[in-house]
Amino acid sequence: MKTTLFGKFFLILPIVLMFTPFVFVFIFGLWYLYEKQWLIYWLLMVVGILAFVKITFLIFGDKHYEIFKDKPQVVPNDRWDNRDDEVFAQMQIFAKAIDKSSLAFNQGLPNRLLDMGIQTTQKVASYYYPDSPNPALEVSLPHLLKISELVLKDMRKELIEKIPFSHRITINHFLKVPKVVDFFNDAHASYRVGRMIANPIGSILSEVKDHITSKLFAYSKEELLRWMVDFYILEVARYSIDLYGHNITLNAFEPTLQDTPTPKESPIKIAVVGEVNSGKSSLINALLGNSKAFVDERAVSVEYQYYPYQTPNAIDTILIDTTGYQSVDATGADSIKLLNTITKSDMVIVVLRANSAAREADQALLKSIESYYDAHPKLRKPVVIGVLNHIDKISPPKEWNPPFDIQNPKTLKEQNIQHALKVVQKELEITQLIPINLHPNRIYNIQQALIPILIKNLQEATKVQYIRHLRAYQKREFWIKLKEQAKATHRLMIGKK
C-alpha cells in the first residue's frame, strides 16, 4: 500500500510542478486586472465567450432550434376576474398578429417597441372603457404612479436575479463599452486584411464559414426578436390589465379578518342549493360524515345554516345549507336572499333530482347567476358543480349494483344514467355534473367523485374569493382615502400641519 501511495505521489508531483507557474500567472493576472479596474470587463468577456461557445455547439450540432426552447412566457394573473382573462386572451391574439418581419436589432428598435407599448395600452384600455373618446386617460394619477412603482420593482428584481454582475456594473462601465467594441471591430478588420494577404485560400474558406455562421445566428436572432416582442407586448398588457381592470390598491391589500379577510385567513364558502326535497341537507350530512343538517321535505323559511368542513387535503371550508326553492323569482325576497348568498360564496353545488323532468326553477336560478356576473364583470363567477341525485330511481329502479361505469356503459342502468346526465347538461348548460345517490342505505359517489371534484376546484374557488375580497377592500379604501383627504384639507385650511 505504501509503495502505491509513493508511486502516485511521484506521478502527480511533476504535473503539479508543471502547472504551478500558470496558476501563479493567473492569480497575478487577476490582481493586475483588478488594480487597473479591468476585472469587470474580463469577467464579462469570459461570460460572453462561454455563451458564444455554447450557442456555436448547439448550432453546428444541428440543434439550433433548441436555443430558445424554454423561453419564459407571460401568463395571466391567477387573481384576475373573468373579464381580465378575456382581455388577456385578446391581447395574445393581438401580439401574434403584429407584423415582425421588418423588426431588427438596430437603433430604431426602442422607438418601435415604445409605439407597440402605447398601442397595447390603448387597446387594453378600450376594452374597459369602450365608450370613452380617450380610454387610456381613464385612470387616476395615484394609480398610475402605483403601477409604475410595481413595474420598476419587478424590473429591479429581474435585473438582479437574471443579469450577471448587474449589481456591480456602473453607468460608467456602459459608457466605456462602445469604445471597447469599436477597438475590437477595428482590430478584427485589420486581421481579416492581413489574413487575406498572407493566406488567400484559407482566408476565403474562413470568410465562407463566417458567412454561414452569421446566417445561422441571424436565424436565432430573428427567433429571439419575435419572442422578445411578444413577451414585451404581453407584459405591457398584463400591467395595463391590472391598471385599467382595477386590480391594484394604493395600500397593501392586507384587510383584517373581521372586515374582509384574505383567502388564507378565510375558509372557502360553498353554497349548497337546490329545489325542495332535492337532497341538499342529506348531501351536507354525507360530506360531514354525520347527521348535522336538518332534513325536511317542506320548503321552510328559516335562516341558512353554516357547517365547517375540512377537505381531505386539509382546506377549511364552510358548507352553507340554503332553503329549498320551488320557483325562482328575481323580485322575490327568498330569491334575492339566495342570490345574495351565492354571490358571496366561492363555490356552488346545485343539487338536482334525477327522478324529475321539471327543470324550470333550476334553469331560472342558473340564469340569474349568469345575469348577475354579466352585470358585474369585475367579479369572478363562483365555481358551479351540479350533482344529479336519486340515480337509484332511474330505470330500472330495482337494479342497484354500484359502481357504475358511466363512460363505457354496459348495463341498461348505466346507459340510462349516462343519458340522464347528457340531457341535464344540455338543458342547464352545466359543465361539471356528477351522478350521486344520498339514500341512507345507498350512498354513492360522494367519496369516489364529488370530493375529488371539490378538491380539484379549490384553486379556482380561491381566485373567486380573492377577487371578491379585493373588490370589497377597494370600496373601503375609496372611503378611507376620501376621509383622509378631507382631514388633510381641513388641517390645511385652519393652518395646522
Q: Which three cell numbers stand for residue 103?
A: 423588426
- Output the pLDDT for position 421: 93
Most confident of 58-67, 310-319, 418-427: 418-427
How far is residue 92's CA from residue 85's CA, in Å, rounded to a whole number? 11
Assess whether pLDDT exceeds 70 at residue 159. Answer: no
Mean pLDDT for the stretch of residues 262-278: 81
* 284 pLDDT more than 50: yes
Q: Over range 72-83, report the average pLDDT.
A: 79
Mean pLDDT of the chain: 76
Q: What is the pLDDT of residue 292?
A: 58
> What whole-number distance in Å separates Cα of residue 294 and Cα of residue 282?
8
Q: What are the cell numbers at 205?
A: 474558406
C-alpha 175/C-alpha 170 separation (Å) is 9
- At 168-212, the pLDDT tens digits run 666 565 555 566 556 556 666 665 656 555 555 555 555 555 654
Cell of 78: 391567477
Residue of higher predicted confidence among 340 and 297? 340
Rg (CA), the chain: 34
Say what percent of the chain tops pLDDT 70.
Answer: 61
Confidence of residue 397 (pLDDT cuts 50, 70, 90): confident
pLDDT band at 299 (very low <50, low <70, confident <90, very high): very low
Within a 10 A sphere around the Cβ of 283, how many other Cβ atoms? 24
pLDDT band at 4 (very low <50, low <70, confident <90, very high): low
The three state secondary structure string of the chain is CHHHHHHHHHHHHHHHHHHHHHHHHHHHHHHHHHHCCCHHHHHHHHHHHHHHHHHHHHHHCCCHHHCCCCCCCCCCCCCCCHHHHHHHHHHHHHHHHCCCCCCCCCCCHHHHHHHHHHHHHHHHHHHHCCCCCCHHHCCCHHHHHHHHHHHHHHHHHHHHHHCCCCCCCCHHHHHHHHHHHHHHHHHHHHHHHHHHHHCHHHHHHHHHHHHHHHHHHHHHHHHHHHHHHHHHHHHHHHHHHHHHCCCCCCCCCCCCCCCCCCCCCCCEEEEEEEECCCCHHHHHHHHHCCCCCCCCCCCCCCCCEEEEEECCCCCEEEEEECCCECCCCCCCHHHHHHHHHHHCCCEEEEEEECCCCCCHHHHHHHHHHHHHHHHCCCCCCCEEEEEEECHHHCCCCCCCCCCCCCCCCCCHHHHHHHHHHHHHHHHHCCCCEEECECCCCCCECHHHHHHHHHHHCHHHHHHHHHHHHHHHHHHHHHHHHHHHHHHHHHHHHCCCC
Are the beta carbons of 382 and 348 closer than 8 angstroms? yes
- Judge whether residue 437 has pLDDT over 60: yes
Whether the predicted model's global pTM rises above the 0.85 cut: no
Closest CA to 300 of 263, 326, 270: 326
- Among 25-34, 186-195, 208-217, whose mean pLDDT is lowest? 208-217
Taken in order of first residue, the domains within the chain and their CATH numbers are 2-66 (no CATH), 82-244 (no CATH), 268-475 (3.40.50.300)
pLDDT at res. 259: 40
Cell output for 392: 337509484
Residues 6 or more apart from 384 whose CB is under 8 A from it? 347, 348, 350, 366, 369, 430, 431, 432
Residue pair 81/241 in contact (Cβ under 8 Å)? The answer is no
CA terminus-to-terminus distance, the chain = 87
Question: Minimum mean pLDDT among 89-93, 106-110, 193-197: which range?
Answer: 193-197
